[in-house]
Amino acid sequence: MREKPTDREADGVFGELLNEGQSIWLDYIRRDMLENGELAALVDEGIRGVTSNPSIFEAAIANTDLYDEDIRRMLEGDAVDGPTSLYEALAIHDIVQACDVLRPVYEASDGADGFVSFEVSPLLAHDTGATIDEARRLWSAVGRPNLMIKVPATPAGIPAIEELIGDGINVNVTLIFSLNAYRDVVNAYISGLERSGDPASIASVASFFVSRVDSEVDRRLEEIGSDEALGLRGRIAIANSRLAYAIYQKAFSSDRWERLAEQGARPQRLLWASTSTKNPDYNDVMYIEELVGDNTVNTVPPQTLDAFRDHGKVTADAIESDLAQARADMELLAASGVDIDDVTDVLIEEGVKKFADAFDQLIEAIDSKRASVA
């Protein structure tokens, strides 16, 4: 099943991951790393993609002076008509540059890797039509084949995903926490490919969130306080992810999928997101080491990247190591009184709100900076 990478030398710890079928992406973007060659150096080391979100751009634009000169120039040239327009212009500039840095990876891997993700406004998470319109507009504005448009796996996002895949737009489906939502995402991807005129040209990832599951589940287990409940802490996020990977394997080996594969279609890779360890008592690279799997992606923030480079270990097919235990852990969780469906419902609601709040803060900060720069 596994194909060894042929597009680059696989060396170092990131090369070890690539040899096991997993790509490491960087969950971070900032203007200076594009201009000083830092991102290019990371690509040379083995980074295969970049993800972004409103929180990342808020920190980059609002908390540094890296963008001040561009803001001044755009204001003087009347190139923007408000803070949202100004944000988009700044962000698109960075996304285009990042796509160009990753373009050699994209071309060498024949379009299998080398992507940069850019999110539709989280304020549209519950509006299917507006999400589709904005995704099409951003796709056109960036104009790079190795762009992925991020769309959340909300009930409104699912039909948007199918529509956009049918249009031939690469999609990074974000904020997936539950197995049921993941099934809906896979179906939307496959249905979109079936509507597409050229399924071989489309790529997609399904961003399955990890550490936030443990954070919420652990809080509930600690409230219960029994030995059995406390013994499950730090285990449920990985168990949930292992069950998602089993769904992936079944979905992308079905007869329905094989008909698309014959046309050159690629499976929608699972991407492990939210992989920085929130609990300092846990192994700081556990959400990488435990989730190594064929044809997957792991997107990590800079501090987790540094930690894995320093002391991470790669175990072949770690994601498949104990599926029976993963199922048993989920059964024990239910028996302890924690409803995983309620957990994931809370998490997607919080996730949408977190990104929407970050977007609002970003726009407010840009408006303030616009005034000070002007």
Q: Tell me the catalytic residues.
A: 150
Point out which residues pair with 116 in neighbouring strands: 50, 147
Point out which residues pair with 149 in neighbouring strands: 118, 171
- Let me know: does 64 contact 310? Beta carbons within 8 Å: no
* Rounded Cα distance, 172 and 180, in Å: 18
Tell me the backbone φ, ψ of residue 269, rounded to 5 degrees: -70, 145
| Structure-block tokens of residue 285 | 């690279």
* Rounded Cα distance, 230 and 332, in Å: 11
Identify the sign of the CA torsion 318, 110, 198, 161.
positive
Q: Quick one: which of 216, 257, 225, 230 has its CA closest to 341? A: 216
| Structure-block tokens of residue 319 | 């994601």
* Rounded Cα distance, 118 and 99, in Å: 11
